[in-house]
Chain A
Amino acid sequence: MKRTVLMLLCASTVFAQSTIPNSPGVKATVAIRNARIVPVTSAPIERGTIVLANGVIAAVGANVEIPAGATVIDGTGLSVYPGMIDSGTNVGLIEIDAIGATVDTSELGDFNPNAQAAVAINPHSELVPVTRVNGVTHVVSTPEGGIISGQSALIQLTGWTPPQMVVKSPAAMHIRFPRLRGAPIVEIPQEEEAETNRRKNYTKELDRLRDVFRDAQAYAKASGARVRRFDRDLLLEALVPVVEGRVPVVMHANQARDIRAALAFADEFKLKVILAGAQDAARVVDDLKKRAVPVILGPILSLPQREDDPYDILFTNAKLLHDNGIRFSIQTADAHNSRNLPYHAASCAAFGLPKEEALKAVTIYPAEIWDVADRMGSLEVGKVANVIVTDGDPLEIRTTVSRVFIGGEEMPMDSRHTLLYRKFANRPK
């Protein structure tokens, strides 16, 4: 017992406090000039200037006047891009996977619509600076587990408190749609009984999910009638904006059978649906097109579900969606390596997706899907100054990100990893 307490204490001191300052809190006026500027939503400007002021982008262009008093950065040989957005991570909810005490991703039970990522984000997690120094400035932090996992939050990777970090909450309600099989079948199970039970459980899960949504519809109706309630149900209450179509539902599903079932379910309850995972996108492309369902692909750097699936199927899905005019963005579904988001996107480009589209899939497209394109996702005047400076294409590993601005504040470029590097690079032999 004593040992456990001690361990917890140690854990909290070691893990909870990042060694990196979050941000200096200065929203200075900054002008980066002579840089290659890639606004994403318009053609790149080979030699231009971008001005950040009061936390927003004040000007972008080839011929921009630099305001007096601005800090001027010479961007010769450098490129400027909008900060990247990871459409699905656990950043902020997890520190060390194997230590349960540091993991806040999965609530108990199957139905947790009232679980909010936004209240459990640890602003001082070491993962925050590790992620942002590679140019990923925003992530959608997502609860997992159960069937209705909870509400995600779109957060910026800086801030002293969770509310300072939250850009949008709920970003969506997340449903791990019930699956008949965890993975596509390979050989049929020896035990017939196991198969019967599997089907029974599957049907039961679907029925329960349907019941919850029916209850939520009824609850919404009653709430709408302004009936004075003495029996508030927080669980159903959390679903009201969902059944009313005000908050989108992210259906996590990969197998065609489950994707179809999830889309049918969304139709049944007239939900605003986003599909995540979607490894079988090719098998359901017509369904997606017909309904204009946005898709969050990823992780791209992951193995195909079936032995017979083409080896590159997860790399080519993006091109397929692009060719069919289906909106998509990319997630890493990772925490510690959300920083590798751009390389997931690049792998799509290696297999046919135009490079500009790969870049959009981690900038303006997620902004659109998360309904924040008015504020971020591109370098446009008036948008929040989420800006990164690089020495080349950020989707290339060999590119170095040299500066990161979030909301106009310049971020320190240190992380746990750079600090450890410096410390031991200087170790006496």
Chain B
Amino acid sequence: MSHEVEILLVDDSPEDVELTIRALRRNKIANEIQVAEDGAEALDFLFCRGVHKDRSPDRPPRLVLLDLKLPKVDGLAVLRAIREDERTKTVPVVILTSSKQQRDVIEGYNLGVNAYAQKPVDFEQFGEAIRQIGMFWMLINQAPPPKVHEAGKAQGA
């Protein structure tokens, strides 16, 4: 497992995690995935704290799949922290959640989320949604060049 983490999946439901990873894998998206089961763990990973203190913050994931209803620190708070930190503020974040409530959607976009998707109940639709998200963000989307992160780090230091 020497690959760099490219996708951070933040979800407290092991079933959703398993179904999501399966959908990604079945669609040939083989990027390294890190799972965080609550908001605090996600922040620890992103900012290299706690169990992730040995990780380099210069290498943020290429995509964060973020659930909203999370233990400890909720998804919107995680999003806010990501956007407020120079090292992570350009990381693409896709909210993938059960909630389609308008205020969550509005708040998500206000905080600078890149996309907002509801987890479909239907397995086929769920698989299709995950496939499209993975394909777009991992293959089609042009990520910001690494020097943006470096510049960010320099400013943040």
Partners in one complex: no
